[in-house]
């Protein structure tokens, strides 16, 4: 019989006045037991992290408990004073966070930051602390721990920093580990490694883990039990297998269905003799300009890239951060200028256009951006934002604004042209961005991580919209993404990139069924929940 | 090695800036209304034809512009700042004689303002929304808005005229003939008012900046990490928040050096402190423009030197820039 | 919440607005209440405050009416403060915008130029400029503008640097908007709030600079100013402290009010959007 480590009973946390709802979480109850991983799943704004913050005594300013209990080690944490609560943090409850890049103090060496945990609880001599820190770094699998212990955080990669965070959280062998979206900011292959590390450590030490995530793939990968949250309430709580295979609640089912599944796509688009876009031997090197006495550095972002794209076809460019996929997209729309190579649009070279000719030529290739909060000018009404393109290209203002109305209708947002961007949700802004891209009646649209910043349920809607519009206007789509699952859902063909080079190129089906490059296989295997989902299919 | 290279590149930059200032001075003399020789000699010197001719010859004022510029630049490059007709001394000697007093005053005020400013700012940051924190910020705003020379005058009225606690003028008691420790004490007593009034304004700046910077730093993720470790509030404030918050303060301290020179001109004028600020005021009153330009050049050089020092300190404090200077 | 509601929430800012309104009223009413030149000797010298009707603040060393000087001085302080700030904005905003938007060599060149002006001790530079150009309202305005534009250029450049790769700016470029349109319509409006806040603080600094210049005797000899009044009374501080005291309070209140208004504008223009992301 395993012991219950943490027991949350009927917890209600109030948000400050003026928030969009009164309570962050309402009447929430769940337990976390020794040796299990409880996944708390929800979309943004579901309140999934709030209970964890209450457990740590680290609630944001203005949020406070108005009811319920949190039992841990025979104490109700909600009634503890700050001093007593502090003595639990780091010692009996460890926590890791989402952003490894900012979660470590930039001015302190890694070893000192780990040693601080012992210092905070008065353990060991300074010398022993360093020895322990080294052992911990070894345990979490950091390469060259003797060097890493003397490193500053900026000298480590994101994955390595997250390992340091885990080492700190586990330093005093806590009974409970809280992991708040610990892999969300990482590349998919790094994510797979960190998930494995957490699972291994949990099994070796038999701790209880509370794992907060938005990703059902991750849930399938690590969870013993699952707690699904929406708008501050629990909608479903149960064994992981049970919830994943037989979700009882509609919302859970919708979330699971919204994950692009791995049923391998069977879309295929016949290649044409004369492709719309032909990319030949594209090269791009970024040089950090050296100063008077400073050497310059080079990054080969694009290395001999060639491919073609037909009319009405969707081509996916897949890769991790630093693969050069975004640079490729930016070169195609000519936000960047390639160093050499050609971009032929209907046989006309787009790379050599300059000044006024480039400005007029831009009409044919448009882009949909990643961040719905940054892609619209906060001071421009959305109707005008859409009409600006046609106006700049000589369409009379009235006519352009009327067209903007039609386009908003088309993307499912009729009659909102005179509102400002802040009145819309992320998904709605992305629709406005799509309408803006369509306003110039382009032939090719580059979508750069166009759904990455959205919740899964919204993601599915936007992908559907894109697909419908593509068919209506027989658009060509260059779909750039880090997420193979999303790519599989919408693309006819895929290109896999790594370090600025194309490592594999083929139909989506072929890449999923018979990946040839080792890197592609690695990427496919790293997709969280893949084994689990396939097993159930 | 790294630092040698860094200092070298900064010195090259400094020389360029100083050269530009020389040219700027030259252009200013040319643009000013009236005879350049008269300007250089100052109003009083204008009557002395012989001295004017001497000046015309020295700067080649009857020759083409580029020759004049060459005379001017090469003069300063050899540390020849010309002669002050009014004071009957070479400009360089005048400046060097007054420099120690200014360094003593500004140095004391700098240390005082930085130390107290950071202290007050951290206190205010830790007491946001409490009366004591608001009081500190209200005082900081008040000192920030008060004209420096006026505070100095009011301090004289209060502490010298009415309370008779501290001397109002000069750097030492004339004719007392103090030596050794007695001299140091005497100078210290004379230093209190000027240094404090000069420090007040800068203390206000550092207080405001420290508070803002600490509040900003306290919202960073690594502070949450530190709390999750179970560290006490004091340790988090000192080791995590303050250390990160100090980085922008170092940059600001460098930028304030130029302001400090301006402040010194006013304070030295009020307290008759025998530094280059007071010298500048005298030069103004006597329209001794050559001396004025010499002091201007010298104070710019001092500020640049100070900027190089703060730049190096910043690099020592922030490990992230060690890699690429 | 509207801009005015947010501004009014800051009590200090409201007090600042009231003080500023009083000072502006002083400047506006001066020619009506004291139509005579404030330089005219009207009574015996060293008349202490509140001793004679019509001279609430007494007279100075030359028998001039201190109250009249104070009111006429308000006009000069405000004029020089606002005009020199406008000139500084006219230099700094276009320079920073061009440097930040185009980047590269243009940015390098313009920023070296800005740094040069920033390294020079600015009060010393202002003194040299006014002294050699001869003191006048024009030379004082120019000198103050010349020493105070670098922070504007740096601020505008930093804003442009961070906004020029913002996605909506890139979208504007993609739909074919020209550089001028993008700078003026897409980026500049989004940098206005920090510029406005900075400008209100610059007016305060300019007033301090002007008073310091005229304190040193570098004021325009034709207009009465607060700094001159303090400077002229400096030597008689032991006999008549009030001659220095009242103009100083006037400067202090004006500068304080402008700072309070600046803080209020900052609160009102840059509300911290507490977007919940859990």
Chain C within 8 Å of B152 (Cβ-Cβ)? no
In this structure, of A69-73, A291-295, B68-72, the range with the lowest mean pLDDT score is A291-295
What pLDDT does A293 receive? 46
Query: 3-state secondary structure string, C231-255?
Result: HHHHHHCCCCCHHHHHHHHHHHHHH
Chain B within 8 Å of A117 (Cβ-Cβ)? yes
**pLDDT band at residue A27, thresholds of 50, 70 and 90?**
very high
Chain B within 8 Å of C212 (Cβ-Cβ)? yes
Asked if residue C47 has pLDDT above 60, the reply is yes
Domains of chain B, CATH where assigned: 14-80 (no CATH), 100-317 (1.10.3720.10)
**pLDDT band at residue B88, thresholds of 50, 70 and 90?**
confident
Render pLDDT for C231-245 as a digit per residue (tens, 0 to 9).
888 888 888 888 889
Asked if residue B53 has pLDDT above 80, the reply is no
Rounded CA separation B23/A200 (Å): 70
Asked if residue C273 has pLDDT above 50, the reply is no
Beta bridge partners of A307: A279
Considering only CB atoms, B296 lies closest to which of C119, C124, C215, namely C124
What pLDDT does C132 receive? 85
Region C136-148 average pLDDT: 94
**pLDDT band at residue C66, thresholds of 50, 70 and 90?**
confident
Taking contacts as CB-CB distances below 8 angstroms, the residues of chain A near C168 are: 374-377, 380, 385
Chain C within 8 Å of A393 (Cβ-Cβ)? yes
Cβ separation of B225 and A105 shorter than 8 Å? yes
**pLDDT band at residue A262, thresholds of 50, 70 and 90?**
low
Greater confidence, B322 or A309?
A309
Provide the strand spans (E) within A310-425.
Answer: 314-318, 340-345, 348-349, 365-368
Render pLDDT for B238-248 as a digit per residue (tens, 0 to 9).
899 999 999 98
DSSP 8-state secondary structure symbol assigned to residue A121:
T
Question: Crossing angle for the helix pair C104-119 and C137-164, nearest 10 degrees?
Answer: 140
Region C3-9 average pLDDT: 80
Region A510-515 average pLDDT: 86
Chain A within 8 Å of C176 (Cβ-Cβ)? yes
Q: What does the DSSP assignment read for B177-193?
A: ---HHHHHHHHHHHHHH
**Kind of pairing, strands A233-239 and A365-368?**
unpaired
pTM, full prediction? 0.86
Render pLDDT for B147-172 as a digit per residue (tens, 0 to 9).
999 999 999 888 888 888 888 788 87
Render pLDDT for A137-153 as a digit per residue (tens, 0 to 9).
999 989 889 999 999 99
What pLDDT does C35 receive? 82
How distant, in Å, are the alpha carbons of A425, B131, C12, C21 from that of C15?
38, 19, 5, 10
Side by side, which strands form the sheet with A297-309? A297-309, A277-288, A340-345, A348-349
Rounded CA separation B131/A116 (Å): 33
DSSP 8-state secondary structure symbol assigned to residue C272:
-
Cβ separation of C215 and B266 shorter than 8 Å? yes
CATH homologous superfamily, domain A275-535: P-loop containing nucleotide triphosphate hydrolases (3.40.50.300)
Chain C within 8 Å of B269 (Cβ-Cβ)? yes
Question: Crossing angle for the helix pair B243-271 and C104-119, nearest 10 degrees?
Answer: 40
Region B56-63 average pLDDT: 70
Write out the H or E segment, with its range, that includes residue A244.
Answer: helix A240-245
Taking contacts as CB-CB distances below 8 angstroms, the residues of chain A near C177 are: 388-389, 392
Region B165-194 average pLDDT: 85
Cβ within 8 Å of C, B 235-264: 255, 257-259, 261-263
What pLDDT does C278 receive? 28
What pLDDT does C275 receive? 30
Chain C within 8 Å of A233 (Cβ-Cβ)? no
Chain C nearest C-alpha distance from A360 (Å): 6
In CATH, the architecture of A4-92+174-257 is 3-Layer(aba) Sandwich (3.40)
**pLDDT band at residue A536, thresholds of 50, 70 and 90?**
very low
Rounded CA separation B286/B75 (Å): 23
Task: Please answer whether residues A37 and A224 qualify as being in contact, where contact means their C-beta atoms are separated by less than 8 angstroms.
Answer: yes
CB atoms within 10 A of CB A496: 26
Cβ separation of C176 and A362 shorter than 8 Å? yes
Considering only CB atoms, B5 lies closest to which of A103, A106, A293, namely A293
Give CATH 3.40.50.300 domain extents, chain A: 4-92+174-257, 275-535
Cβ separation of B161 and C252 shorter than 8 Å? no
What pLDDT does C274 receive? 31
Cβ separation of B28 and C245 shorter than 8 Å? no
In this structure, of A338-342, B17-21, B50-54, B196-200, the range with the lowest mean pLDDT score is B50-54
Asked if residue A271 has pLDDT above 80, the reply is no
Which chains does C contact via 3+ CB–CB distances below 8 A?
A: A, B
Three-state secondary-structure class, residue A350 = coil
Region A326-345 average pLDDT: 91
Chain C within 8 Å of A402 (Cβ-Cβ)? no
Chain B: residue nearest A288 by CA? B324
**CB neighbour list of residue A248: distance below 8 Å, 6 or more residues apart:** A236, A238
Asked if residue A250 has pLDDT above 70, the reply is yes
Taking CB atoms and an 8 Å cut-off, how many pairs form between chains A and C?
77
Rounded CA separation A424/C276 (Å): 15
Chain C nearest C-alpha distance from B150 (Å): 6
DSSP 8-state secondary structure symbol assigned to residue A228:
E
What pLDDT does A456 receive? 82
Asked if residue A52 has pLDDT above 80, the reply is yes
In this structure, of A158-172, B60-74, B304-318, C8-22, the range with the lowest mean pLDDT score is B60-74
* CATH code of the domain in which C134 resides: 1.10.3720.10
Q: What does the DSSP assignment read for B77-138?
A: HTT---EETTTTEEHHHHHHHHHHHHHHHHHHHHHHHHHHHHHHHHHHHHTTTSHHHHHHHH
Task: Please answer whether residues B264 and B275 qualify as being in contact, where contact means their C-beta atoms are separated by less than 8 angstroms.
Answer: yes
Task: Determine the residue among B228, B246, B313 to mutate to test chain A binding: the one whose Cβ has the most chain A Cβ atoms within 10 Å.
Answer: B228
Render pLDDT for B262-299 as a digit per residue (tens, 0 to 9).
899 999 999 999 999 999 998 888 888 888 888 999 89
Chain A: residue nearest C276 by CA? A45
Cβ separation of C190 and A360 shorter than 8 Å? no
Asked if residue C271 has pLDDT above 50, the reply is yes
What pLDDT does C62 receive? 78
Considering only CB atoms, A97 lies closest to which of B225, B243, B244, namely B225
What pLDDT does B165 receive? 87
Asked if residue A292 has pLDDT above 60, the reply is no
CA pseudo-torsion sign B111, B101, B304, B140: positive
Q: What is the ipTM of this complex?
A: 0.86
Read off φ and ψ for residue A285, nearest 5 degrees.
-120, 130
**pLDDT band at residue C90, thresholds of 50, 70 and 90?**
very high
Cβ separation of B222 and A117 shorter than 8 Å? no
Rounded CA separation A340/A135 (Å): 49
What pLDDT does A359 receive? 83
Cβ within 8 Å of C, A 77-136: none
Chain C: residue nearest B287 by CA? C131
Q: Is A331 exposed, middle or buried (0-12, 13-18, 19+ CB in 10 A)?
A: buried
Q: What percent of chain C has pLDDT over 70?
A: 97
Rounded CA separation C141/C89 (Å): 13
Rounded CA separation B67/A47 (Å): 77
Chain A within 8 Å of C193 (Cβ-Cβ)? no
Chain B nearest C-alpha distance from C29 (Å): 25
Render pLDDT for A115-134 as a digit per residue (tens, 0 to 9).
999 999 988 899 999 999 99
Residues counted in chain A: 537
* Total domains, chain C: 1
Which of B261, B287, B286, B285 shows the shortest CA–CA distance to B275? B261
Cβ separation of B221 and A91 shorter than 8 Å? no
What pLDDT does A452 receive? 86
Task: Please answer whether residues A259 and A485 qualify as being in contact, where contact means their C-beta atoms are separated by less than 8 angstroms.
Answer: yes
Which of B267, B114, B293 shows the shortest CA–CA distance to B205? B114
Q: Cα dihedral angle (B272, B274, B277, B279), rounded to 10 degrees?
A: 100
Considering only CB atoms, B228 lies closest to which of A95, A102, A121, namely A95
**First and final C-alpha spacing in chain C:** 24
Taking contacts as CB-CB distances below 8 angstroms, the residues of chain A near C174 are: 333, 335, 362, 365-367, 389
Q: What percent of chain A has pLDDT over 90?
A: 52
**First and final C-alpha spacing in chain A:** 32
Chain A nearest C-alpha distance from B129 (Å): 13
What pLDDT does A351 receive? 84
Greater confidence, C272 or A519?
A519
Which of A472, A482, A478 shows the shortest CA–CA distance to A492? A478
**Average pLDDT over chain B, rounded to an integer:** 85
Asked if residue C63 has pLDDT above 80, the reply is no
**Average pLDDT over chain A, rounded to an integer:** 88
Region A182-186 average pLDDT: 88
Rounded CA separation A114/A172 (Å): 10
Chain C: residue nearest B147 by CA? C208
**Average pLDDT over chain C, rounded to an integer:** 88
Cα B15 to its chain centre, rounded Å, is: 19
Which chains does B contact via 3+ CB–CB distances below 8 A?
A: A, C
Asked if residue A291 has pLDDT above 60, the reply is no
Rounded CA separation A526/A186 (Å): 12
Rounded CA separation C166/B156 (Å): 55
Beta bridge partners of A481: A318
Task: Please answer whether residues B229 and A174 qualify as being in contact, where contact means their C-beta atoms are separated by less than 8 angstroms.
Answer: no
Chain A nearest C-alpha distance from B232 (Å): 7
Rounded CA separation B161/A290 (Å): 60
Taking contacts as CB-CB distances below 8 angstroms, the residues of chain C near B139 are: none
Rounded CA separation B124/B122 (Å): 5
Region B105-127 average pLDDT: 93
Chain A within 8 Å of C178 (Cβ-Cβ)? yes
**pLDDT band at residue C119, thresholds of 50, 70 and 90?**
confident
Cα C49 to its chain centre, rounded Å, is: 30
Cβ within 8 Å of B, A 146-165: 152, 154, 165
CB atoms within 10 A of CB B323: 10
Chain C within 8 Å of A440 (Cβ-Cβ)? yes
What pLDDT does B175 receive? 76
């Amino acid at each position: 019989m395993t012991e219950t480590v943490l027991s949350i009973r009927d917890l209600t946390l109030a948000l400050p006045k003026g928030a969009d709802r009164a309570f962050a979480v309402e009447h929430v109850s769940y337990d976390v037991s020794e040796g299990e991983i409880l996944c708390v799943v929800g979309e943004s704004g579901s309140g999934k992290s709030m209970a964890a913050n209450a457990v740590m005594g680290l609630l944001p300013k203005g949020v406070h408990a108005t009811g319920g209990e949190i039992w841990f080690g025979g104490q109700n944490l909600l009634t503890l004073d700050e001093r007593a609560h502090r003595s639990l943090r780091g010692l009996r409850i460890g926590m890791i966070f989402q952003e490894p890049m900012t979660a470590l103090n930039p001015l302190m060496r890694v070893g000192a930051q780990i040693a601080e945990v012992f210092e905070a609880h008065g353990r060991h001599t300074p010398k022993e602390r360093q020895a322990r820190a080294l052992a911990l770094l070894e345990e979490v699998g950091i390469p060259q721990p003797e060097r890493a212990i003397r490193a500053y955080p900026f000298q480590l990669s994101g994955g390595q920093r997250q390992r340091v965070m885990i080492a700190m959280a586990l330093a005093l062998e806590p009974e409970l580990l809280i992991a708040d979206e610990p892999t969300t900011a990482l590349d998919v292959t790094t994510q797979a490694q960190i998930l494995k590390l957490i699972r291994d450590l949990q099994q070796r030490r038999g701790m209880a883990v509370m794992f907060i995530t938005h990703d059902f793939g991750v849930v399938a990968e690590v969870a013993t039990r699952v707690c699904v949250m929406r708008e501050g309430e629990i909608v479903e709580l149960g064994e992981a297998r049970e919830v994943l295979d037989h979700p009882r609640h509609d919302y859970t089912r919708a979330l699971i269905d919204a994950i692009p599944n791995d049923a391998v796509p069977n879309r295929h688009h016949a290649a044409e003799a004369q492709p719309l876009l032909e990319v030949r031997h594209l090269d791009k090197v970024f040089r950090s300009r050296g100063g008077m006495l400073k050497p310059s550095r080079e990054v080969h972002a694009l290395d001999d890239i060639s491919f073609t794209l037909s009319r009405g076809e969707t081509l996916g460019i897949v890769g991790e951060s630093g693969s050069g996929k975004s640079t490729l997209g930016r070169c195609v729309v000519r936000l960047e200028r390639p160093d050499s190579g050609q971009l032929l649009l209907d046989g006309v070279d787009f790379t050599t256009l300059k000044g006024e000719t480039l400005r007029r030529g831009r009409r044919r290739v448009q882009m949909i951006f990643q961040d719905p909060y940054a892609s619209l000018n906060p001071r421009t009404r959305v109707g005008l934002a859409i009409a600006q393109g046609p106006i700049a290209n000589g369409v009379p203002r009235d006519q352009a604004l009327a067209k903007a109305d039609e386009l908003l209708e088309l993307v499912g947002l009729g009659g909102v042209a005179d509102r400002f961007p802040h009145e819309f949700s992320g998904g709605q802004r992305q629709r406005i961005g799509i309408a803006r891209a369509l306003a110039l009646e382009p032939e090719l649209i580059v979508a750069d991580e166009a759904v990455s910043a959205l919740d899964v349920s919204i993601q599915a809607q936007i992908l559907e919209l894109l697909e419908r519009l593509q068919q209506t206007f027989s658009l060509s789509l260059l779909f750039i993404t880090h997420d193979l699952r999303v790519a599989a859902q919408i693309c006819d063909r895929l290109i896999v990139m790594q370090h600025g080079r194309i490592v594999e190129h083929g139909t989506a089906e072929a890449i999923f069924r018979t990946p040839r490059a080792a890197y592609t296989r690695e990427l496919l295997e790293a997709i969280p929940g893949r084994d689990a989902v396939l097993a159930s299919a | 090695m790294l630092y040698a290279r860094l200092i070298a590149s900064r010195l090259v930059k400094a020389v360029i800036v100083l050269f530009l200032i020389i040219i700027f001075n030259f252009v200013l003399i040319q643009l000013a209304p009236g005879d350049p020789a008269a300007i250089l000699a100052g109003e009083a010197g204008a009557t002395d034809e012989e001295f004017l001719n001497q000046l015309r010859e020295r700067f080649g004022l009857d020759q083409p512009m580029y020759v004049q510029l060459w005379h001017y630049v090469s003069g300063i490059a050899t540390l020849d700042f010309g002669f002050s007709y009014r004071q009957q001394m070479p400009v360089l000697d005048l400046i060097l004689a007054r420099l120690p007093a200014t360094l003593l005053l500004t140095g004391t005020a700098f240390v005082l303002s930085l130390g107290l400013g950071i202290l007050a700012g951290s206190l205010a940051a830790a007491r946001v929304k409490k009366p004591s924190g608001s009081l500190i910020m209200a005082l900081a705003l008040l000192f920030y808005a008060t004209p420096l020379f006026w505070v100095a005058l009011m301090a004289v009225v209060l502490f010298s005229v009415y309370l008779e606690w501290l001397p109002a003028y000069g750097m030492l008691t004339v004719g007392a003939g103090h030596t050794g420790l007695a001299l140091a004490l005497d100078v210290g007593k004379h230093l209190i008012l000027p240094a404090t009034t000069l420090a007040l304004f800068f203390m206000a700046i550092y207080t405001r900046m420290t508070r803002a910077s600490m509040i900003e730093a306290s919202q960073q993720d690594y502070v949450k990490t530190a709390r999750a470790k179970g560290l006490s509030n004091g340790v988090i404030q000192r080791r995590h928040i303050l250390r990160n918050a100090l980085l922008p303060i170092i940059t600001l301290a460098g930028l304030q050096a130029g302001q400090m020179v301006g402040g010194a001109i006013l304070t030295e004028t009020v307290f008759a402190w025998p530094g280059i600020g007071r010298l500048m005021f005298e030069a103004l009153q006597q329209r001794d423009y050559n001396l004025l330009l010499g002091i201007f050049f010298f104070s710019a050089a001092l500020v640049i030197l100070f900027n190089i020092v703060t730049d190096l300190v910043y690099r020592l404090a922030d490990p992230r820039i060690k890699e690429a200077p | 919440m509207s801009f005015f509601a947010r501004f009014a929430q800051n009590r200090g800012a409201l007090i600042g607005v009231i003080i500023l309104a009083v000072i502006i009223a002083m400047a506006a009413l001066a020619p009506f209440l004291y139509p005579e030149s404030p330089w005219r000797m009207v009574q015996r010298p060293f008349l202490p405050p509140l001793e004679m009707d019509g001279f609430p603040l007494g007279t100075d060393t030359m028998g001039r009416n201190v109250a009249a000087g104070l009111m006429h001085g308000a006009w000069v302080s405000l004029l020089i403060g606002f005009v020199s700030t406008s000139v500084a904005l006219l230099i700094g905003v276009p320079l920073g915008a061009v440097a930040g938007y185009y980047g590269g060599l243009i940015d390098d060149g313009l920023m070296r130029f800005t740094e040069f002006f920033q390294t020079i001790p600015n009060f010393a530079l202002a003194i040299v400029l006014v002294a050699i150009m001869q003191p006048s309202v024009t030379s004082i305005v120019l000198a103050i503008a010349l020493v105070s534009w670098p922070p504007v250029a740096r601020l505008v450049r930093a804003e442009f640097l961070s906004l020029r790769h913002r996605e909506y700016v890139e979208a504007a470029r993609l739909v074919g908007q020209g550089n001028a349109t993008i700078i003026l319509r897409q980026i500049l409006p989004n940098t206005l709030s920090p510029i406005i806040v900075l400008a209100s603080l610059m007016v305060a600094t300019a007033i301090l600079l002007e008073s310091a210049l005229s304190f040193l005797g570098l004021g325009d000899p034709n207009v009465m100013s607060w700094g001159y009044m303090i400077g002229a009374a400096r030597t008689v501080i032991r006999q008549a402290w009030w001659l220095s005291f009242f103009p100083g309070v006037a400067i202090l209140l004006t500068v304080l009010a402008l700072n309070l208004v600046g803080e209020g504008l900052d609160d009102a223009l840059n509300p911290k959007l507490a977007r919940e992301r859990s």
